[in-house]
Amino acid sequence: MRVDTRNAVHETVRYMVKYNDFQLGRTFGALVDQTRRAILDRLEREDGVSISELAKPFAITLPGVMKHLDVLEDAGLITRWKEGRTVTVRLRPDPMRAPLDWLRRYERFWTSRLDRLAEYAQREESRARRKGR
């Protein structure tokens, strides 16, 4: 039996493109940027960080960091609050559940491929060891 993989891939991509969840798009849009992912990584490690502390490791201006925080807040991934002159940022991981659930539906497509890749790497490693003896 021959399977038309090209058609299956086309149908999968067509479904993915037509997926119409606005919040899901916002979350993926926020996660696509390396700086925003680094901010989320830091907030995952440290609960409640001031904006000035968040901005320190980045080679961008404070207004640039603020724009990234606006995107993260619009996606619901962070909360901000002000105490005196200090604005503190905290991670809100709940909105990441929907993208994870969405990605899990497609996991079956790549799991078998990754398993085959691991088997291939093990075979190649075994061959290299035998040649080295």
CA distance 24 to 90: 20
pLDDT at 1: 46
Cα 32–Cα 38–Cα 40 angle in degrees, nearest 5: 85
Closest listed residue to residue 88, CA positions, set 116, 46, 58: 46
Specify the pTM. 0.67
Written as tens digits, the pLDDT of the chain (133 aa) is: 444 555 555 555 555 554 447 888 899 999 999 999 999 999 999 989 999 999 999 999 999 999 999 999 999 999 999 999 999 999 998 988 888 888 888 887 878 888 888 899 999 998 888 887 6
pLDDT at 105: 84
